[in-house]
Amino acid sequence: MDKFEFAGTDDRPKVFLDKENGKFEFSGKSLPEDVEEFYRPILDWLNDYCEEPNEKTDVVFKMDYFNTASSKMLLDVMGKFEEIKEDGHDVVIHWYYMEDDEDMQEAGEGYEELIEVPFEHGSF
pLDDT at 124: 87
Q: What is the mean pLDDT of the chain?
A: 97
- pTM over 0.85? The answer is yes
Q: Which amino acid is at 60?
A: V
What confidence tens digit (pLDDT) does each residue in 1-20 have? 899 999 999 999 999 999 99
What confidence tens digit (pLDDT) does each residue in 74-115 have? 999 999 999 999 999 999 999 999 999 999 999 999 999 999
Residue ranges of alpha helices (H) inside the chain are: 35-51, 68-86, 102-114
Q: Say whether pLDDT at 71 is over 90.
A: yes
Q: Give Rg (Cα) of the chain.
A: 13
Q: What CATH number is attached to the domain comprising 49?
A: 3.30.750
Spatial CA neighbour of 27 closest among 14, 18, 38: 14
pLDDT at 52: 97
Note down the domain range covering 33. Answer: 4-123
Total of domains in the chain:
1
